[in-house]
Structure 1
Amino acid sequence: MITTKYVNYKQVLNLSGFHLIMISLWCTLIAVLFHYFNWQWMVIPWVPVALIGTAEAFLVGFKNNQAYDRLWEARKIWGGVVNSSRSLGSMVYAFETSNQELGKFDLEDRRKKIIYRHIAWMYTFREQLLVPSEWEHIKVEEDQLKNTDQKRNRLIKAGFPDYGRTSIFLNKYLSAEEVELQPHYKNFATYLIAQQAKDVNELKNMNAISEFNQIQLQDCLNEFYTLQGQAERIKKFPLPRQFASTAFVFNIIFIMLLPLGLVNEFAKLGDYGIWASIPFCITIGWIYIIMELVGDYSENPFEGLMFDIPMLSICRSIETDLLQMAGETELPDPIMSKNGVLV
């Protein structure tokens, strides 16, 4: 997530620098051919170019609108994780036991076990969402750079050492037996919630909590299943490629035709008009490219890039809240933004 008030020039160049260079070379090449070689046969009327640009603007606008919906839904999902996590923590520590035989320390250990496992679930859930899909930007160049965490940091130009530390969190908050089970489950986050339900049911059978308390806790766990499923739906079902690909192809066609129509119009102003067409052509093409790239990167909100949901920061915030509820005094440092980016 970008945390600065405005997107700075470094972030813009990081996003579209290569495209800007290619557009500049193409527009300059057309102007040179038109002026020095008198290749007037290659120019086209401005009207069809304008029509294509108008159609492309509508298509890119539709794509960006859908991409924003996916991004905002993802943020609401993680907002739900925050709220439900706090509810879980407050309920676990608010319920009083009616079992006089259950020792105070035993009950406290069981409470901490539920809280710790939930923290482990959050980091596991985040790690599973960061696994690249074949249509995402991280996946595109996976063969060139195997380490996806390095690829993310290279794309956002910031170093976040916590990217690949999920295993450390699991060893900290789970028992050794549960950690060893992780490789045996394709969806370890789902397993952790199931274990939470078993522990809650065990507390009910021990008369540590009432049946009503069990129902409330189980409803909270069911909410985590719902939120996890909603996030996985966004992760595993991309913006339909017929829309995404069509917008990209039409954008390329428009930019290729743009200088062919623009240079002829500016040539009516004289020789200087031919050269004046270059910056205008670059600006128009660059605007269309930026609109395309913003939507293209926003449609996948769980890649861990600068436009995405700051899942690591959210996890750390919830972790701190729950540890304080558990009476812990040694709290982890919050995740701070680096170079205007929060992950």
Structure 2
Amino acid sequence: MLLKGKISILDFVKTIKFDLIAISIFSVLVGLLAKTHYLSALVIPLGLIAIVGTAISLLLAFRTGQAYDRWWEARIIWGAIVNDSRTLIRQLKEFLPEDQDDEVRLFMERQIIWNYALSESLRKLPFSNKVEAYLNAHQVTDFNVPNALLNLHGMQLKSLADRGLLTEFRQVQLDQTLTKLCDAMGKCERIKNTIFPVSYSTLIHFLIYLFTLLLPFGLDDNYAFIKAVLTAAIPTIFIVIERTAILMQDPFENGPLDTPMTNISQNIEVVLRQQLGLDAERPASPDPDAYYIL
């Protein structure tokens, strides 16, 4: 997630450099083509070029809107995970007898690991040492580790109910909280595994290159430098907008525009430990030169 007031223009340019190079080369070739003997007299009305430009603008507006919706939905989901994690531990403290602090602590440790495991699996990263140590200690080998940890939550609840430490009503309340966590996990997996239609991006690229092809034939030849600049600059603006939407539409890709799942997981760990009166080390502040957190 980008930090307020900070952004690295250089990193963004590096991200889109191949698009910029491609559109620049294409613009130069089209400009040279427009100066050839056979095509120098060809003039295309600006109204026709404007129609193509308007179509691109509408498509980009839709693309950017849909990308932002996916990004914002991911942030809302992780906000709900924060609330439900705190709710789970609060309910356990209230519902279980005071001499069952060890049981609550087992839930707390598992929930902390669940947050880290979910964030790392969404980013398709190897599990961190903390997660690996917990999985090895508890022999968790399932393919979907976050789901397996929720199952362990459920099994522990059942054990507590069987031992008479939880009434049916309180068990149902706790199970509803686990259901919310499971729903949040499923929503994250839906966003991660639903690919934005490739044909949509292909159509936008086709129209941008068509616009670049037509533009030199609608500009005045008396101002060659301005004509060259506009032929490259206007399509570049379209490319930059589309690339921004592409970066935003995948909020779990371990990049600057990601949902800050690692940072959120660290904050959840601090809060849950404090709920049980345990010491917790707060996450380190972002590096002064950093412009985003993960």
TM-score between both structures, scaled by the size of structure 2: 0.88
Q: What's the counterpart of residue 150 of structure 2?
A: 193
Unmatched tracts of structure 1, length 5 or more: 99-103, 132-162
Pick one of 184, 203, 206 that aligns with 2:163. 206
- Equivalence map 1:1-343=2 (5 Å): 1-5=1-5, 7-32=7-32, 38=37, 40-41=39-40, 43-45=42-44, 46-97=46-97, 104=99, 107-131=100-124, 164=126, 166-174=127-135, 176-178=137-139, 181-182=140-141, 185-258=142-215, 260-262=216-218, 265-267=219-221, 270=222, 273-331=223-281, 333-334=283-284, 336=286, 339-343=290-294
Shift of 1:67: 1.3
Rounded Cα–Cα distance in structure 2 between residues aligned with 1:58 and 1:65? 11
Q: Secondary structure at the match of 1:239?
A: coil
**Aligned-pair RMSD on alpha carbons?**
2.5
Aligned residue identity for 1:57: S
Cα distance, 1:307–1:171 mapped onto 2, change above 3 Å: closer
Rounded Cα–Cα distance in structure 1 between residues aligned with 2:143 and 2:6? 40
Aligned residue identity for 1:114: F
Cα distance, 1:172–1:112 mapped onto 2, change above 3 Å: farther
Aligned residue identity for 1:40: L
Q: Is the 8 A contact 2:95 2:166 kept in 1?
A: yes
Rounded Cα–Cα distance in structure 2 between residues aligned with 1:34 and 1:255? 12
- Percent identical across equivalent pairs? 26
Rounded Cα–Cα distance in structure 2 between residues aligned with 1:44 and 1:227? 56
Cα distance, 1:327–1:169 mapped onto 2, change above 3 Å: same
Aligned residue identity for 1:49: I
Rounded Cα–Cα distance in structure 2 between residues aligned with 1:245 and 1:318? 41
Q: Secondary structure at the match of 1:307?
A: coil
Rounded Cα–Cα distance in structure 2 between residues aligned with 1:279 and 1:61? 24
Shift of 1:9: 2.3
Q: Is the 8 A contact 2:6 2:291 kept in 1?
A: no
Q: Is the 8 A contact 1:119 1:173 kept in 2?
A: no
TM-score between both structures, scaled by the size of structure 1: 0.77
- Is the deviation greater in 201-210 or in 228-237? 201-210
Q: Is the 8 A contact 1:49 1:261 kept in 2?
A: no
Shift of 1:41: 4.2
Rounded Cα–Cα distance in structure 2 between residues aligned with 1:66 and 1:308? 16
Shift of 1:342: 1.3
Matched residue count: 292
